[in-house]
Structure 1
Amino acid sequence: MKFVKYFFIVIGVILLTLVAIGIFKTDYQSKASIEINAPKHQVFAVYNNPLLYKRWMTNFQALEQLEGQMNEIGNKHRLKFTTGSGEITTLDQTLVEFKPSELIRYNYDNQWLEGTSNATFVDTGNGTTTIDLRLDYTGRGIVQNALLFLLSSTIDQGHQYNLEQLKTLIEESKPDELEYTTE
């Protein structure tokens, strides 16, 4: 009987801790960076090409244009991804800043979170380019914030993995096959 009592006390403490985290920890940040052996204009063109997303973004399924034109400030589109259970989840993005070969900034949201994504492109010399990705986000409630806290390292690893996939795609492909822009 003591075991059951202590078991429920431990579970209660864990749940209260998660609730407290969900209340007080509301701002999250994810960073990823990679150096790619390719010129900045090529790296930017591949990163910004929705036709290539499926080749480097994990679980990417489709992009649905909602408003505006690609690369136009205010452009809104919906990204669709497959979850681990096979369901489709969406992420709506609005382009808020766009500097060709330098910066892409989106505001994004879905039923779980909202935030801002910044991708900057820096020519590091010798024909290489660094992409720095920074996401600032918050959950839409206590439960979402607690889950984001628990998943924060997994989120960081996912963004880094995607950039590594992008690096492989660019470095192992012929530039003529990848440089397609929708302007």
Structure 2
Amino acid sequence: MKFAKYLFIVVGVIFLTLVAIGIFKTDYQSKASIEINAPQSQVFAVYNNPLLYQHWMTNYQSLEQLEGQINEVGNKHRLSFTTGSGEISILEQTLLAYKADELIRYSYQNQWLEGTSTAKFERTDAGATKINLTLNYTGKGIVQNALLFLLGSTIDEGHQHNLEQLKKLIEESQPEQLEDSSEQ
């Protein structure tokens, strides 16, 4: 009986802690960066090409254009991803800022969260390109904020993994091959 009482207290404390986190911790930031041995214009072009997303974005399924034209500030599209359980997750994005070869900023939202994503591209002294990706986001409720708190390092690892896949795609391919694979 004593064991059940202590177990109940521990579970209760954990639950109340998560509720408190969900109430008071509402803003999150995820950062990832990578240096790619390729010209800035090539890195930007591959990163920004929806036909190549499937080659470097984990669990990417599709992109549906909703409004405007690609690379036009204000354009809206819907990205679909497969979750770990095999369900489809939808993310709607609106382009907030675009500067060719330098910057892409989106606002995004789905049923769980909303935020902004900023990708900055810089040429290094060695002639490579550095991508700095920053995501600022918040959950749409107490439960979502608590889950985001618990999953923070997994989210960071996921973005870093995607950038590593992008690096591999660019450094191991020729630009002509990338264009050919996007037409298939």
TM-score range, shorter chain: over 0.9
**In structure 2, what is the equivalent of residue 2 of structure 1?**
2
**In structure 2, what is the equivalent of residue 24 of structure 1?**
24
| In structure 2, distance between residues paired with 1:179 and 1:82 | 25
Aligned partner of residue 64 in structure 1, secondary structure? strand
Change (3 A) 1:146 1:109: same
Question: What TM-score do the two structures reach when normalised by structure 2?
Answer: 0.96
Q: Does 1:61 find its partner at 2:64?
A: no
* Structure 2 gap segments, 5+ residues each: none
**In structure 2, what is the equivalent of residue 112 of structure 1?**
112
Question: What TM-score do the two structures reach when normalised by structure 1?
Answer: 0.97
State the shift of 1:144 in Å: 0.2
**In structure 2, what is the equivalent of residue 98 of structure 1?**
98
| In structure 2, distance between residues paired with 1:124 and 1:138 | 32
The superposition leaves residues 41-80 of structure 1 with CA deviations (integer Å, 9 ceiling, x where unpaired) of 0000000000000100000000011101100011100000
| In structure 2, distance between residues paired with 1:176 and 1:20 | 53
Q: Is the 8 A contact 1:108 1:114 kept in 2?
A: yes
RMSD between superposed Cα atoms in Å = 1.2
Q: Superposed, which structure 2 residues align to 1:65-104 within 5 Å?
A: 65-104=65-104
Tell me the matched-pair count: 181
Following TM superposition, the consecutive aligned residue runs of length 4 or more in structure 1 with deviations greater than 4 angstroms are none
| In structure 1, distance between residues paired with 2:69 and 2:177 | 23
| In structure 1, distance between residues paired with 2:119 and 2:176 | 23
Q: Is the 8 A contact 1:42 1:179 kept in 2?
A: no
Q: Superposed, which structure 2 residues align to 1:8-47 within 5 Å?
A: 8-47=8-47
Aligned partner of residue 124 in structure 2, secondary structure? strand
**In structure 2, what is the equivalent of residue 135 of structure 1?**
135
Which amino acid in 2 is paired with 1:134? T
State the shift of 1:111 in Å: 0.4
Aligned partner of residue 66 in structure 2, secondary structure? strand
Aligned partner of residue 69 in structure 2, secondary structure? coil
| In structure 1, distance between residues paired with 2:142 and 2:71 | 34
Aligned partner of residue 125 in structure 1, secondary structure? coil
- Percentage of identical aligned residues: 76
| In structure 1, distance between residues paired with 2:51 and 2:103 | 19
